[in-house]
């Protein structure tokens, strides 16, 4: 799992490096290279507020309806660079470093998904922007679902990418469980640093949490898009359980992709999210709708 967090951080660095690369001008006139936006470290877009005794760092971009983006375990605003860059032209994009992560401060108590979810609710109140659409990835996907449970009036639509309801074998295959445990096995010289302590606290949470009964999701009234990849870290059976437990849900599985699709293929990921957020949600009654389309298809063939 340490390798996984390093990969996520490295991914964010690659996104910024590509964005910063100068581009050749197609005209004889010299054109200055575009200046990359340092998502996650942008003093012009960043601010802080205090909730539950913790100073939390956030950034906002764009204008329009509010869209809250939520990063994964051990991540930060910067890991969502491709999503911020895409959605800021259509929405007022809001992203926050979770407590004990990124530029947000450390908390004194054990970290929980409920506390992080309540931090997000407090941010919505602080900015006076609710209700919001929410796109969460991994831990952020869990928090998106919990916003629908704990603060239903603050959310319009939820996109939950690769969330899990518990840390048990229903959600994780043995090798994934081993990966998480390996992240807590730090050498003493790392364990005793501030970053090491953060990692032990944040990653250790995944060995004990979340503990969300599937039946609890029945109370989430917001339309929800449940996402995962066919080679995800979360078992697909578990993803389907989440989908079937939500009263107003859609399901999409990305082919030949992993847990890191928001970074690996942001065009496909963002496009899928874009379509869900832009279109009115409609529950399908599958038998009548299937037969209705079948009849139209056959009528068209007859002519």
Dihedral angle sign, alpha carbons of residues 273, 95, 116, 196: positive
pLDDT tier for residue 302 given thresholds of 50, 70 and 90: confident
Residue 296 in domain: no
Residue 154 has pLDDT above 50, yes or no: yes
pLDDT digits (tens, 9 = 90+) for 183-235: 999 999 999 899 999 999 999 999 999 999 999 999 999 999 999 999 999 99
Residue 255 in domain: yes
Residue 300 in domain: no
Whole-Å CA distances, 284 to 30, 240, 270: 55, 17, 23
Q: How many angstroms separate the CA atoms of 229 and 235, rounded? A: 10
pLDDT tier for residue 35 given thresholds of 50, 70 and 90: low
In which domain, by residue range, is 67 found? 2-22+29-278
Residue 302 in domain: no
pLDDT for the residue numbered 18: 31
Residue 107 in domain: yes
Residue 27 has pLDDT above 50, yes or no: no
Residue 9 has pLDDT above 60, yes or no: no
Q: How many angstroms separate the CA atoms of 145 and 150, rounded? A: 9
pLDDT for the residue numbered 303: 65
The contacts of residue 208 (CB under 8 Å, 6+ apart) are 167
Q: Confirm if 146 and 118 have CB atoms less than 8 A apart.
A: no
Residue 122 in domain: yes
Q: Confirm if 71 and 140 have CB atoms less than 8 A apart.
A: yes
**CATH assignment of the domain containing 252:** 3.40.50.1820
68 token code pair: 């809250």
Chain centre to alpha carbon of residue 83: 10
Q: How many angstroms separate the CA atoms of 154 and 130, rounded? A: 5
pLDDT digits (tens, 9 = 90+) for 239-282: 999 999 999 999 999 999 999 999 999 999 999 999 999 999 99
283 token code pair: 């529950």
Residue 287 in domain: no
pLDDT tier for residue 15 given thresholds of 50, 70 and 90: very low
Whole-Å CA distances, 164 to 5, 127, 213, 235, 272: 18, 29, 11, 9, 20
Residue 128 has pLDDT above 90, yes or no: yes
What is the tally of structural domains in the chain?
Answer: 1
Question: Helix axis angle, 194-205 relative to 2-20, nearest 10°?
Answer: 110
Residue 291 in domain: no
Q: What does pTM read for this prediction?
A: 0.88
């Amino acid at each position: 799992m340490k390798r996984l967090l390093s990969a996520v951080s490295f991914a964010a660095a690659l996104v910024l490096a590509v964005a910063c690369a100068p581009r050749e001008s197609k005209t004889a006139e010299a054109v200055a290279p575009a200046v990359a936006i340092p998502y996650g470290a942008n003093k012009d877009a960043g601010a802080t507020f205090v909730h539950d005794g913790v100073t939390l760092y956030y950034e906002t971009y764009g204008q329009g309806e509010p869209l809250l983006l939520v990063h994964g375990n051990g991540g930060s605003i910067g890991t969502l660079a491709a999503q911020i860059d895409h959605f800021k032209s259509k929405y007022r994009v809001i992203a926050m470093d979770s407590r004990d992560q990124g530029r947000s401060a450390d908390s004194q108590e054990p970290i929980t998904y409920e506390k992080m979810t309540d931090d997000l609710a407090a941010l919505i109140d602080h900015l006076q922007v609710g209700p919001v659409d929410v796109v969460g990835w991994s831990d952020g996907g869990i928090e998106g679902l919990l916003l629908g449970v704990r603060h239903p009036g603050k959310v319009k639509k939820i996109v939950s990418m690769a969330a899990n309801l518990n840390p048990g074998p229903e959600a994780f295959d043995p090798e994934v469980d081993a990966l998480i445990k390996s992240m807590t096995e730090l050498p003493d010289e790392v364990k005793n640093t501030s970053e090491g302590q953060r990692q032990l606290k944040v990653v250790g949470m995944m060995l004990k949490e979340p503990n969300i009964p599937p039946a609890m999701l029945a109370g989430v009234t917001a339309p929800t898009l449940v996402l995962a990849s066919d080679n995800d870290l979360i078992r697909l059976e578990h993803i389907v359980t989440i989908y079937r437990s939500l009263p107003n849900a859609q399901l999409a599985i990305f082919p030949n992709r992993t847990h890191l699709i928001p970074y690996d293929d942001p065009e496909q990921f963002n496009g899928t999210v874009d379509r869900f957020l832009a279109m009115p949600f409609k529950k399908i009654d599958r038998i009548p709708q299937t037969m209705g389309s079948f009849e139209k298809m056959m009528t068209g063939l007859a002519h």
